[in-house]
Copies of this chain bind each other. A is one copy, B any other.
Amino acid sequence: MLEHYLTEQSPLEHGSARATLAVSTVIFTLRPDDESGLKTLWLPLVRRTRDPHLGLWALPGGWLPADEELAAAAARTLRETTELSPRYLEQLYTFGDIDRSPDLRVVSVVYWALVRSEVAERASVGENVRWFAADQLPPLAFDHNRIVEYALWRLRTKVEYARIAHAFLGDTFTLAQLREVHEAVLQKALDPANFRRSIESSGSLISTDQHVAGARHRPARLFRYDDRAAEHEPPGPTL
């Protein structure tokens, strides 16, 4: 049995049907909630124009062309959906339950991505693409609700907040802006004093000489990310 399997010559020759590969992407951005005004996580969904699940909302994605890298396919569907480029893109998980799609056996390699808030404001929103608050989603096609749940969990428990928060901001930013991102993702208030210290001691920021004036209080200093600090990465596929 072992020998049979290991020496099998080609995937085309074995009796049972093959699984089909798809790539989907969970795309997050941060923008003010309609009511509270507080920044919350939003994501774009695509309305299905065919069966199965015609009319339901689903994650952006598509079949994997044999000549395209996985991450490239994720970035492409992201671009096609939002007309944006990802500031952060990472493989999330591969979902392959037999019955997750009614007819075909579909295995989906799912990526998660972050895009900048300001840019996402003016992103394309058509008849078949709409942004939703991440914690108020309608029932989605396939197992996509579960996938978004998992992506949210991963975002919130990711240790290297530094790179993540960076992905939501511009090149320079104040500590208050950075703290606002952390608070939105973690869904809890952070002490400004302690936040400052923990960020500064992490060494991932470079302080500029610029300040932001115009508010009726002391001007805040602008900071920039230290790209050299991004080297503390796992030796794995993330690189």
Contact = CB atoms under 8 A, between A and B. Distances in A.
A7 interface: yes
A236 interface: yes
A18 B21 contact: yes
With most chain B CB atoms within 10 A of its CB, the pick from A2, A46, A97, A154 is A2
Given A9-B50, A65-B16, A66-B17, A94 B97 contact: no
11 contacts: A3-B128, A6-B60, A14-B63, A16-B66, A64-B96, A67-B105, A69-B98, A93-B237, A94-B109, A96-B109, A149-B236
Given A8-B62, A153-B235, 9 more contacts: A1-B80, A2-B80, A6-B46, A16-B65, A18-B64, A19-B64, A93-B237, A94-B109, A149-B236
Interface of A: 1-3, 5-9, 11, 14, 16-22, 46, 49-50, 60, 62-70, 77, 80-81, 91, 93-98, 104-105, 107, 109, 128, 146, 149-150, 153-154, 157, 234-237
